[in-house]
Amino acid sequence: MGNKHMSDKTSTAQYSQAETSMSKVADDQQGTGWIAGDAHNELTGHEYDGIQEYDNPLPGWWKWLFIVSIIFFFPYFAYYHFGGSGRSVSDGYQVAEAVNARKQLAGLGEIKPDRQTLVRFASTGGGGLAVGRGVYLANCVACHGTSGGGLIGPNLTDNHYKNVREIEDILNIVNRGAAAGAMPAWINRLDEAECVLVSAYVASMRGTDPGPGAKAAEGSEIAPWPTPDELAAQEAAKAAEEEAQGEGEAEGEGPEAAAAEPVTAESPVMEGD
Ligand code: HEC
């Protein structure tokens, strides 16, 4: 006990030098201890295992920070949790995402559910494929794998397809589904433009490396997708054929008339592309 008393004394003596400057600050604040705390250099009453404690409270700025943050909590909590929708960070994020998606689609030109559009996006890529990839990652990976190697659904990277002969068949399958819903229909869950872009993305996966663990090819091998140039040439040939057919019909003859495709309800409408 005598020893401890001595050490108390020594430390008090050492402390008192520092205290002179500190207590000035404390005095300025009339004992509130705003900056350095209100050092009394008095021992608290308790002692544990021979360890005693000075009764020096936390500085005022710290205590006030604590109190102010508790007060701040009430209006903050009320504002964000009961103050109507659209105020949370997650709501803000969703709004920003929707705006961003609209911007991305706006820069892509017309997105029609047809062969030309699919070929254009699948071969020239750009922002359209990025949107398509986003749609794919959000909706299709569970069954077709992140890189299209196939899981429940078939491998989408090889040259073999079960339900697809032409590039536009991809869009038909995506819209309407296949195998009695094993492949779901997406037209009611996604925008039409999203269906087109994800189909273009699927078309662009053909010939890519899905990495290890990919499913074996299913279905039959089909011809490569047309390139935009081939498609343009095909379109031009078709237009010329139809024109010739029209003339042939008028004259009631012509070898082209026999070779021409049957005229469907859609084909006479030539939309200028
Ligand atoms: C619930 C699982 C599942 C999900 C999710 C799914 N698919 Fe499928 N998909 C399948 C199955 C199963 C088949 C094979 C259908 C069959 O056997 O005819 C298939 C077939 C396809 C085919 C035709 C492949 C072929 O060889 O004919 C395409 C294209 C396709 N899916 C694209 C997509 C896209 C794009 C998405 C996301 C928007 C998607 N799928 C989401 C299960 C799924």
Atom of ligand 1 nearest to the CA of 219: 26
What pLDDT does residue 250 have? 53
Instruction: Characterize 200-231 residue by residue with b for buried, 16 or more Cβ atoms within 10 angstroms of its Cβ, and e for exposed.
Output: bbbbbbbeeebeeebbebeeeeeeebbeeeeb
Judge if the beta carbon of residue 164 lies within 6 A of ligand 1: yes
Closest residue by Cα to atom 31, ligand 1, is: 183
Judge if the beta carbon of residue 172 lies within 6 A of ligand 1: no
Task: List the domains of the chain with CATH numbers.
Answer: 105-228 (1.10.760.10)
| Ligand 1 centroid to residue 51 C-alpha, Å | 72
What pLDDT does residue 14 have? 47
Judge if the beta carbon of residue 174 lies within 6 A of ligand 1: yes
What pLDDT does residue 6 have? 43
Reported as a single tens digit per residue, the pLDDT across 224-267 is 999 999 988 988 998 998 888 877 555 544 444 444 444 444 44
Query: Average model confidence (pLDDT) for the chain?
Result: 80
Reported as a single tens digit per residue, the pLDDT across 72-96 is 999 999 888 887 777 778 888 888 8
| Ligand 1 centroid to residue 13 C-alpha, Å | 83
Judge if the beta carbon of residue 141 lies within 6 A of ligand 1: no
Reported as a single tens digit per residue, the pLDDT across 140-198 is 999 999 999 999 999 999 999 999 999 999 999 999 999 999 999 999 999 899 999 99
Reported as a single tens digit per residue, the pLDDT across 200-231 is 999 999 999 998 989 999 999 999 999 999 98
Residue among 157, 173, 205, 206 whose CB has most ligand 1 atoms within 8 A, to mutate: 173
Average pLDDT over residues 104-109: 80
What pLDDT does residue 249 have? 57
Judge if the beta carbon of residue 173 lies within 6 A of ligand 1: yes
Q: What is the 3-state secondary structure (H, E, C) of the chain?
A: CHHHHHHHHHHHHHHHHHHHHHHHHHHHCCCCCCCCCCCCCCEEEEEECCEEEECCCCCHHHHHHHHHHHHHHHHHHHHHHHCCCCCCHHHHHHHHHHHHHHHHHHCCCCCCCCHHHHHHHHHHCCHHHHHHHHHHHHHCHHHHCCCCCCCCCCCCCCCEECCCCCHHHHHHHHHHCEHHHCECCCCCCCCHHHHHHHHHHHHHHCCCCCCCCCCCCCCEECCCCCCHHHHHHHHHHHHHHHHHHHHHHHHCCCHHHHHCCCCCCCCCCCCCC
Q: State what percent of residues in the chain have pLDDT above 70.
A: 77
